[in-house]
Structure 1
Amino acid sequence: MSNDGQELLDLTVEPWADMHRIPPKGTCIVVTHAPAGDGTWGLPSHRDAPFEIEYRPDSVTVWVNGHCFHLSDKEGNPIDEGVYGGGCPAQTRPPQ
């Protein structure tokens, strides 16, 4: 999601209540992974959708239907790497 406004845009990722702020002209990409081997997303009413999104003028809430999430900018660089709900396996990096 992109912030086309002039003020910070609050981003809440649920069900972890993880808060982030998207700066003006900034973009934040939310990625999640399905926990089930059959590729479903877990919630009976949204089994084919990885997210539910609620938009408000000064904030957006993303309900992640997967078992974890991670955030990146539009170039794919991690945002706040290592603080994501459930320890997202896509964010686990081998020791350097």
Structure 2
Amino acid sequence: MFTGRTARLAVGNDGGEPLDLALEPWGDVHRILPDESCVVVTHSAAADGPWPGAGLGDEPFHVDHRPDSVTVWANGHCFHLSDRQGNEIEPYLYGGCPAQKPGA
């Protein structure tokens, strides 16, 4: 069973054009179409204490917005994307999140 923490951040596109969602520090880019949204999920192995990589206190995310893109810094050990119902959007490419492994 996974004993760490999980944080979720919903990112939506209510504009008329596709929105690029850049996920750092991994450099992945996901396109969010108009009227769609996704959830960035990150995990920390520590049950308490600061999130790894957090620049301002105990924040699991840092977000920068530009007219055609959003950059989300996920301050956990890994990340994955899901829809609002929790269904995975894209498989995690970097060895897997420990929280997603069977029996984690």
Same fold? TM cut 0.5: yes
Contact 1:81 1:91 in 2 (8 A): no
Alignment of 1:91 onto 2:88: no
Matching residue within 42, 52, 58 for 2:68:
58
Cα distance, 1:86 vs structure 2: 5.1
Q: Which runs of 5 or more structure 1 residues have no equivalent in the other structure?
A: none
- Counting aligned pairs with the same residue, the percent is 57
What TM-score comes out, normalization by structure 1 length? 0.84
Q: CA deviation at 1:35?
A: 3.1
Q: What does the per-residue CA deviation read over 1:11-62, in whole Å, with 9 as the maximum and x for residues that have no partner?
A: 0100000110001101110011113343320236334110000011100000
Q: Flag structure 2 segments of 5+ consecutive residues without an equivalent.
A: 1-10
- Give, in whole Å, the separation in 1 of the partners of 2:54 and 2:98: 24
Greater relative contact order (Cα < 8 A, sep 6+): 2
Which whole-Å CA distance do the structure 1 matches of 2:28 and 2:21 have between them?
8
Aligned residues: 93
Greater per-residue strand proportion:
2
